[in-house]
Amino acid sequence: MENTPTTPPDTAAARVDADSAHLEGSLGTGGLLFTVLAFNAPIGIMSGFIPVVITMGVGGPTPLVYLGVMAMVLFFAAGLVTMAKHMSKPGAFYTYVTHALGRSMGLGAGFTALATYVVLASATYIFMGTVANTVSTGILHGPDLPWWAWTLIAWALVSALTLLNIDVSTRVLGVLLCVEVLVVLVWDLRVFFDGGPAGRGLELSIPAGGSWGLALLLAVGCLTGFESIQVFRSETRDADRTIPRATYLVIIILSGFYAFNSWIYQVAFGGTDGIGASLAQTGSAAGSFFDSLKHYVATVASDAANVLVVTSLFAAVLAVQNISARYTFALGNDGVLPSALSRVHPRWKSPTLAAGAVAVAVLAIDLVLAVARVNPVTWYVALQGLGLWGLILLMAWTSVAIIVFFRSRSDLEASLFKTLIAPILSAIGFGITLFLSFKNADLLFGTTATGYWCMVSLCAVAVVGSLYALWLKSAKPAVWARIGAQDDVH
């Protein structure tokens, strides 16, 4: 196996000035929570995902699925935050895979992670553009514009915020997140005290055609984003305490939120059959949720929720672009990408050039689709599925990396559970989820053919990253030595 990537001796070709690559921020537990919770777009999950998980999964027992996924993700987090203590620089998937499996595999993971987040941002913009136009014409009586016009407006605002210090973004995310969660909680209380058409009892039978595997795949999709906390390490106060705390909290909060709301959803509609009937009547999961808000709360709450879906997606894409910028910064700082991308704005202490490069890449994808006049819904489903599959792949990959890292450095940690048992359990869980994604490619990507094409494309990105690393080894050994480099592994 390759030697541990630590910072090599100073060389002009391989070294980036430390002063030019120092991110600063004052993120605490709250700021990290806002970033990751916004990444998940809670009201978007509530309106578009949970009813699908219930009706296509296991119906009544859906809350148990979310609690099971919580356990699997907590196992992964246990190994992740334990390994993070021994890393001196941010980089998340890229850094961890490099230090366990070598520079070639690490750069493959880094390219895969960056591509995954850029794709997720592009998909979110497409969806936001279509929803924004519906809200504009149906509720606000505003202009009727193509999806890409609304996407351009949102992109300009989001990209401007990513250029600033991370603390600015977290304030915006915090406000938007609190408002959307408040609307959901009001609905929760009204449904709970009303009792719904069939009372508060939960029907535990699985509907005909129900699938625990499918429910697992979809539920995992609702809990992604927590792993991105690690890329903000340099911008966090007391990272060794704050990051583990925020990681565990966000997993527990999201799992509990979705488990509880998957139960409330069934109470509101009188069970799985009621949800299915509503989906058939309204033609969409979001329509069912908004109708329920109108019934249990008020028309104004339904209208507000429609608008909040747009702001929720705005918050989500802001979080994703900030994460992508940190990956780009890390790759630039190591010399793998142009070193200019590792420059830090002297006033804002943010990776301004990296954020700008990410913004351009995201916009380029959406502009190509706009010029091609594609069906935005079709491409949103495909790109969102690709992003979700990429995150699951990276979590499985990193679970293996954590196991290998601590087996080769058994002197670093005494906890067998955190360094071996938990990562093994998470690797098995994410491996099963990957298998289910192949089996249900039509659901995740829209069509089976699209799914296989997308998965092969992302694997090709990983291969290109690994081959590029091998080329650097012979052509630019100084840059090769900096891949995933840390000051030390302690």
pLDDT in tens, 223-275: 888 877 888 887 888 888 898 999 999 999 999 999 999 999 999 998 888 88
With cut-offs at 50, 70 and 90, classify the pLDDT of residue 175.
confident
Distance between alpha carbon 445 and the CA centroid of its chain, in Å?
17
Residue 276: name the closest of 291, 266, 262 by CA: 266
With cut-offs at 50, 70 and 90, classify the pLDDT of residue 98.
very high
Residue 151: name the closest of 37, 303, 353, 313 by CA: 313
Q: Is the pLDDT of residue 18 over 50?
A: no
- Residue 12 in any domain: the answer is no
- Identity of residue 445: F
pTM surpassing 0.85?
yes
CB 290 within 8 Å of CB 305:
yes
CB 93 within 8 Å of CB 111:
no
Angle (deg, nearest 10), helices 376-408 and 352-371: 140
**CATH number of domain containing 439:** 1.20.1740.10
Question: pLDDT tens, 413-465?
Answer: 778 999 999 999 999 999 999 999 998 898 889 899 999 999 999 999 999 99
- Residue 490 in any domain: the answer is no
Question: pLDDT tens, 183-229?
Answer: 999 999 999 999 888 776 655 566 666 678 888 888 898 888 887 78
Question: pLDDT tens, 314-331?
Answer: 988 998 999 999 999 999
Stretch (H or E) spanning 29: helix 29-39
pLDDT of residue 17: 41
Arithmetic mean of pLDDT over the chain:
87
Question: pLDDT tens, 374-405?
Answer: 999 899 999 999 999 999 999 999 999 999 99
**Stretch among 133-142, 191-200, 256-265, 479-488 having the lowest mean pLDDT:** 479-488
CB 361 within 8 Å of CB 390:
no
- Residue 394 in any domain: the answer is yes
- Residue 4 in any domain: the answer is no
- Identity of residue 360: V
CA dihedral over 462, 465, 467, 469, signed as positive or negative: negative
Q: CA dist 167 to 346, 414, 440, Å?
A: 15, 36, 40
pLDDT of residue 49: 85
CB 487 within 8 Å of CB 6:
yes
CB 243 within 8 Å of CB 229:
yes
- Residue 6 in any domain: the answer is no
Residue 228: name the closest of 24, 332, 44, 77 by CA: 77
In the chain, the number of structural domains is 1
pLDDT of residue 128: 93
- Residue 489 in any domain: the answer is no
- Residue 1 in any domain: the answer is no
- Residue 273 in any domain: the answer is yes
With cut-offs at 50, 70 and 90, classify the pLDDT of residue 89.
low
Residue numbers of the domain that contains 306: 18-482
pLDDT of residue 425: 97
